[in-house]
Structure 1
């Protein structure tokens, strides 16, 4: 697997991110969808990676700078043909490594509270993330779960 910085210009990543948004909207009310579209992911405070296996897009993930000491994981998505093959774990390790390199003290994330998001929650918990209150501009929402990890 090759994980590389992605400029968000390729057709494969555009499709995967649109699938991600569509998936979020199919499982959560619109006001509870916090996934970013491709234009917002191009912001200067976001670093975006894609994972490739045999020249096929296997997944993606991003790290958004919240402050000099905090970051947020965004847009974690595994391509359907690569589910349960270690793609999300590899991306998460890569993102956490970058957060440590930046000397972040805490990394946060938001995900859905429905059963559909249970595998993601289990992944984050395996990596030491713990439930926390809403952070940043998030508000309490029965459709959202919030996690943090101290580094």
Structure 2
């Protein structure tokens, strides 16, 4: 019972000790400055990723720019004939990203996660999660270019 309470109801004691030591050494102002610079760094990486998404995935996916975190979630707009379809609560059909992301995209050098891996029941999802935290600007450009080409190929676009 005690270990469950420690895990579920409060931050780990080790994390608290480390945070206290850091704040004691740096002080609030230095900690705030560091946090702000890290936030700005990842904000720039997010903006680079989104600019490349606009160049390569416009009309192929839809997304909202994240305000926090290190991932973009986006919904693939692939036709039902090229992917398994999922019917939502309103009866609308939604393509499943799993086959495209784990198959053709991976074979074309794109590493992302289909949304289904985040569902507790493993259901279908048209969503994809991609990290922008580790890639250089050149790697982002190449990855999203490849993903866009892969989606167009799956749609049967011979211009891909």
Name the TM-score, length of structure 1 as normaliser.
0.27
Structure of higher CA gyration radius: 2
Flag the structure with higher helix content.
Answer: 2
**Greater fraction strand:** 1
